[in-house]
Amino acid sequence: MRASRLLRLLQPLLLLGSPVLAASGAEPPLPAVVLALLARNAEHSLPHYLGALERLDYPRDRMALWCATDHNVDNTTAMLQEWLAAVGSDYAAVIWRPEGEPRFFPHEEGPKHWTKERHQFLMELKQEALTFARGWGADYILFADTDNILTNNQTLRFLVEQRFPVVAPMLDSQTYYSNFWCGITPQGYYRRTAEYFPTKNRQRRGCFQVPMVHSTFLVSLRAEETAQLAFYPPHPNYTWPFDDIIVFAYACQAAGVPVYVCNDHRYGYMNVGVKAHQGLEDEKINFIYLILESLVDGPPMQASVHVSRPRKKPSKIGFDEIFVISLARRPSRRERMLSSLWEMEISGRVVDAVDGRMLNSSILQTLGVDLLPGYQDPYSGRTLTKGEVGCFLSHFSIWEEVVARGLAQVLVFEDDVRFASNFRRRLEQLMEEVAVQKLPWDLIYLGRKQVNPEEEVAVEGLPGLVVAGYSYWTLAYVLSLEGARKLLASQPLRRMLPVDEFLPIMFDQHPNEQYKAHFWPRNLRAFSARPLLASPTHYAGDAEWLSDTETSSPWDDDSGRLISWTGSQKTLRGPLDMAGSSGHSLHRRPRDEL
């Protein structure tokens, strides 16, 4: 049965029905919507794109699929055929318009190079989908690029409810780039405005009229004025750049059709396009990073179960072990971290963190834990917390295992890491360069809070590395066997302070001379990646921020009470921190939104 259905889908056209009208006295059906699915070389994103379509909370018998794929050099066509064979009969209608053998456009230099011929071909496809939707009697047509993932399953219902002639759900990305413009020049080029960043950052929320939306947007076919809208041929008076998104923006302007973008919900994600000279592997790397961002900010992407995907082959990427410190009572953080590593094909091993809430004075005495005399948090003045004791003991257990097993180099993560773009390859390259330069090292920070970055010195011959200065956080670092031996030899449990204060003491960069006097030798050879490859998922002040070290009782308090220590600034976002809570750089550049 499945094979016969697949054979039918190989035909250029398959109509399964037309919009069904409500019977007299029955509840009126939801508007009929055509989903325009245009895919080219989308193997890396298509499973997640299709998975998002499957989960849209909208009756499939009120939707038609208009599917076209062309000029592929990957497995896009086979993926779409497989998916349509599994779910196509659920929809009111299916148009299947595949192209045959892979080919390039004239003068096309690669799969990400956009020529005039390629723009025209895309415009013709979109026009064909629009013409079908009108002829089929649809109320709306939804255009959604195959690297735009609608993780919010209410997106289509919400857009239909707005009853705007053209409306887009604002999508998040790895940068300030999104699927709308707030300004356009008289020549049809992008114009920067004061409204863009507050809209993109959701500092103002709602639905706003804008001159252009693209990539994912809904067009009402009920509205009389939208009957004049077209992608191809362009308007007779058109003189703007020959690009499908600008041609459509001009058509809306010429027809007097208002265009809106809505940002009051998190609707989904869009991949930042690569440059013309880059290839599909670069686009895949970008998309993996987008998957990781969705795991942090939510809702997470989920791939379709009806599509066969290439098997992942996780490895330890040159390390003897990769540890993930995670509290058992924080399963969502553990699951997110393991999913992130899996997406990057990194093999991590969970180490159950020592839970500070389970510690008491008797246990600490048995372990030989005592407070460093005179220690106070540098900002709040509080003493050590049980959460900080648990954190230290968790890292300490890893250092012990490194020495016991004789592991030459290991990678250590906490479970609240937000990874930088292309994390795996950048880390592999860094470690390769360190090996080539034969740099003696004990510890390399991958993520930290820099206290005095202007005082840090670059390592000669290693542009991606600096000599580490006083730092906070231990969310991601590389440790050598010799480094672990040095840390253990200092016997830190007898004079404990937070682990992120202990490490700078060991490489002699802590500003408190009294603390340092308790430890000798202080000869840990510590460096840091520059730019950093990891940051916290959230910071103090973010709605989703959670800290088991800052929300904890004092180390010698057995009452079980929890105190939220708001005075410490360690968990606040610093001016040089890698990313904001939405994943993008906080330092705007003129073209970030393009």
Q: What is the pLDDT of residues 88-99, one digit of tens each?
A: 999 999 999 987
Specify the pTM: 0.89
- How open is the CA angle 58-63-65, to the nearest 5 degrees? 130
Q: What is the pLDDT of residues 193-252, one digit of tens each?
A: 999 999 999 999 999 999 999 999 999 999 999 999 999 999 999 999 999 999 999 999
Band (343; pLDDT cuts 50, 70, 90): very high
- How do strand 216-220 and strand 140-144 relate by DSSP bridges? antiparallel
pLDDT at 589 (0 to 100): 42
Percent of the chain with pLDDT over 90: 76
pLDDT at 6 (0 to 100): 36
Where are the extended beta strands (E) located within 135-248? 140-144, 148-149, 166-169, 180-181, 207-209, 212-213, 216-220
Taking the C-alpha atoms of residue 102 and residue 372, their distance in angstroms, rounded to an integer, is: 68
Neighbours of 79 (CB within 10 A): 24
Taking the C-alpha atoms of residue 480 and residue 442, their distance in angstroms, rounded to an integer, is: 5
Residues 6 or more apart whose CB falls under 8 angstroms from that of 35 comprise: 53, 63, 64, 65, 66, 141, 142, 144
Percent of the chain with pLDDT over 70: 86
- The alpha carbon of 548 is separated from its chain's Cα centroid by a whole number of angstroms, namely 24
Q: What is the pLDDT of residues 104-162, one digit of tens each?
A: 778 777 877 888 898 999 999 999 999 999 999 999 999 999 999 999 999 999 999 99
Asked if residue 354 has pLDDT above 50, the reply is yes
Question: Can you give the three-state secondary structure of 183-209, one letter per residue?
Answer: CECCCCCECCCCCHHHHHCCCCCCEEE
Q: What is the pLDDT of residues 423-446, one digit of tens each?
A: 999 999 999 999 999 999 999 999
Taking the C-alpha atoms of residue 535 and residue 251, their distance in angstroms, rounded to an integer, is: 43
What is the amino acid identity at position 357? R
Taking the C-alpha atoms of residue 581 and residue 583, their distance in angstroms, rounded to an integer, is: 5
Taking the C-alpha atoms of residue 81 and residue 96, their distance in angstroms, rounded to an integer, is: 9
Asked if residue 594 has pLDDT above 90, the reply is no
Taking the C-alpha atoms of residue 60 and residue 73, their distance in angstroms, rounded to an integer, is: 31
Asked if residue 567 has pLDDT above 60, the reply is no
Band (562; pLDDT cuts 50, 70, 90): low
- The alpha carbon of 41 is separated from its chain's Cα centroid by a whole number of angstroms, namely 21
pLDDT at 107 (0 to 100): 79
- If DSSP codes are grouped into helix, strand and coil, which group holds residue 148? strand
Half-sphere exposure of 403 (CA within 13 A, CB side): 13
Find, among 149, 142, 140, 190, the residue nearest to 46 by Cα: 149
Q: Tokens 């699951």, residue?
A: 335
Calculate the average pLDDT of the chain.
89
DSSP assigned state of 371: B
Q: What is the pLDDT of residues 466-500, one digit of tens each?
A: 999 999 999 999 999 999 999 999 999 999 999 99
Phi, psi dihedral angles at 138 (to 5 degrees) = -70, 150
Average pLDDT over residues 165-174: 96
- The alpha carbon of 60 is separated from its chain's Cα centroid by a whole number of angstroms, namely 29
Find, among 399, 413, 594, the residue nearest to 506 by Cα: 399
pLDDT at 20 (0 to 100): 53
Average pLDDT over residues 70-92: 95
Taking the C-alpha atoms of residue 389 and residue 160, their distance in angstroms, rounded to an integer, is: 53
pLDDT at 12 (0 to 100): 41
Q: What is the pLDDT of residues 20-75, one digit of tens each?
A: 554 455 678 999 999 999 999 999 999 999 999 999 999 999 999 999 998 898 99
Asked if residue 585 has pLDDT above 60, the reply is no
Taking the C-alpha atoms of residue 340 and residue 343, their distance in angstroms, rounded to an integer, is: 5
Residue predicted with more confidence, 378 or 190: 190
For residue 66, give both structure tokens.
């208009």
Asked whether 62 and 33 are in contact (CB, 8 A), the reply is yes
Taking the C-alpha atoms of residue 156 and residue 516, their distance in angstroms, rounded to an integer, is: 60
Q: What is the pLDDT of residues 236-257, one digit of tens each?
A: 999 999 999 999 999 999 999 9
Q: How many residues comprise the chain?
A: 594
pLDDT at 555 (0 to 100): 65
pLDDT at 549 (0 to 100): 63
pLDDT at 588 (0 to 100): 43
Residues 6 or more apart whose CB falls under 8 angstroms from that of 317 comprise: 346, 411, 424, 427, 428
What would the DSSP string read from start to end of 3-48?
Answer: HHHHHHHTSS-B----PPPPPTTSPPPPPPEEEEEEESS-TTTHHH
pLDDT at 381 (0 to 100): 81
Q: What is the pLDDT of residues 287-323, one digit of tens each?
A: 999 999 999 998 999 999 999 998 999 999 999 999 9
pLDDT at 10 (0 to 100): 38
Asked if residue 278 has pLDDT above 70, the reply is yes
pLDDT at 156 (0 to 100): 98
Band (572; pLDDT cuts 50, 70, 90): low
Q: What is the pLDDT of residues 508-561, one digit of tens each?
A: 999 999 999 999 999 999 999 999 999 999 877 667 656 666 666 676 776 777
Sheet holding 216-220, edge to edge: 93-98, 63-69, 33-39, 140-144, 216-220, 166-169, 259-262, 207-209
Neighbours of 227 (CB within 10 A): 11
- How open is the CA angle 592-213-185, to the nearest 5 degrees? 70
For residue 262, give both structure tokens.
């809505």
Phi, psi dihedral angles at 192 (to 5 degrees) = -70, 140
Phi, psi dihedral angles at 385 (to 5 degrees) = -100, 160
